[in-house]
């Protein structure tokens, strides 16, 4: 996949070595489950979790997205630190705050991992989570207008 930030396109490519010595796939699957839970609660108009719990989940999603992009950038881009990736994410958000949110980037990465077969038998769960992320993005966009 590619991610266009400013005038530059960044190639995001994952390989098996990206995941062998890390917990990135586990964290990604957990995040997708969290997104599904949030969407389910919104659909059922349930009470949401506390602000502190929500903020901790958002922070973890920020860290995970940055970590995933750092791994995905390694093969094709010249980004040497996590902080550089964070700076690129800041630039990406500044370009279009309505459409370039954290959930959209995470959703793109999740779709790429799914498409490339990194989730194996988690295919169904991943597809449902990707749909949930897409639905959250749509709901968020509607609330902003």
User: CA nearest 112: which of 91, 130, 124, 94?
Assistant: 130
Q: Is residue 61 pLDDT above 60, yes or no? A: yes
Read off the pLDDT of each residue in 92-108 and give the average, rounded to a whole number.
84
Rounded to two decimals, the pTM is 0.75
Instruction: Give the model's pLDDT for residue 145.
Output: 47
Is residue 102 within 8 Å of residue 92, measured between CB atoms? no
Q: For residue range 4-21, what is the model confidence (pLDDT) as tens digits?
A: 998 999 999 988 888 888
């Amino acid at each position: 996949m590619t991610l266009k930030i400013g005038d530059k396109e960044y190639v995001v490519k994952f390989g098996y070595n990206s995941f062998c010595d890390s917990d990135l796939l586990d964290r990604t699957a957990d995040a997708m489950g969290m997104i599904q839970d949030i969407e389910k609660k919104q659909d059922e108009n349930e009470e949401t979790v506390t602000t502190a719990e929500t903020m901790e989940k958002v922070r973890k999603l920020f860290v995970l997205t940055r970590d995933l992009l750092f791994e995905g950038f390694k093969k094709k881009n010249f980004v040497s630190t996590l902080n550089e990736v964070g700076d690129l994410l800041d630039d990406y958000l500044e370009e279009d705050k309505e459409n370039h949110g954290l959930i959209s980037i995470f959703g793109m990465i999740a779709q790429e991992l799914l498409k490339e077969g990194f989730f194996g038998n988690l295919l169904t769960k991943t597809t449902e989570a990707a749909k949930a992320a897409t639905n959250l993005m749509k709901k968020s966009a509607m609330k902003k207008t």
